[in-house]
Amino acid sequence: MPVISPKKPYRIGRSRTGLGLFATKPIKKGAKIVRYFGPLLDSRKKKDDAVENKYLFELNGRWTIDGSVRENIARYINHACRPNAESDVMPRKRKVVIRAIKNIEPGEEINYDYGTDYFKAYLKPIGCRCAACEKKRKKKRAEARAERLRLKLKAERKALKKARQAEKAIANEPLQRKPGAQMNGHANGVKLNGQHVNGQHLNGDGGQISTRKAMSVRPGIFTRASGNASKQKSKPARDSRALA
């Protein structure tokens, strides 16, 4: 890690993405913070054009700064989607300076936007971990949890409503009747009031056997109420006095 003069308003420290550059003194808006420097690469030369690393800073179509050297303190400045600094590119001077775009308080991490090309090539595949993106992801996670909880409560309320409706339907349902059972003079296919009883008709209707009750005429002799019915005689009872 390079040695930084105590006169400088920054230090190298740990950040959420690794190492970062932090303010040690108040930095006013518009103030120069640090220069981004390193060997100049000429894209017209095959050797220079073949160099590939994450610290290349393109000045124009020809010249690029290779900021991978450890003396380049600006290489420790991390990307941020909502930065507090920016890169001031001077192509003619082949120079890049990092300036504050807002007041930076001691302890704050210094950061700037690396640009769309760098973001797509290096940051998007792994996900940007700057404070703004972390806050956005945290908000989305909270919203997703709230949505899952809302759907869960909705499902529980719906299930409870169905259960109550089922209980109400059971309470209002009439008593179950046995198969074939009928009321008001009908029972198991047997009809009263002169109708048939399991294929037999009452009151002598339909040529079926009459089932009227027999009446007693005198002791030991029974007759049916119908005039056409024959009398039935029983054996005369023995007189107890004759036996005596």
Bridge partners, residue 64, by sequence: 41, 58
Q: Terminus-to-terminus CA distance in the chain, angstroms?
A: 148
Bridge partners, residue 18, by sequence: 15
- Supply the DSSP symbol for 89: E
Q: Other C-beta atoms within 10 Å of 24: how many?
A: 14
pLDDT tens per residue across span 188-225: 554 555 555 554 554 544 444 444 444 444 554 444 44
Q: Answer whether 77's CB lies under 8 Å from 111's CB.
A: yes
pLDDT tens per residue across span 114-171: 888 888 888 888 888 788 888 888 888 888 999 999 999 999 999 999 998 888 888 8
Total H helices, total E strands in the chain: 4, 17
pLDDT in the model for residue 141: 87
What whole-number distance in Å separates Cα of residue 129 and Cα of residue 225? 110
Each domain of the chain, given as residue ranges in start order, spans 10-127, 130-171, 181-210
CATH topology of domain 10-127: Beta-clip-like (2.170.270)
pTM: 0.57
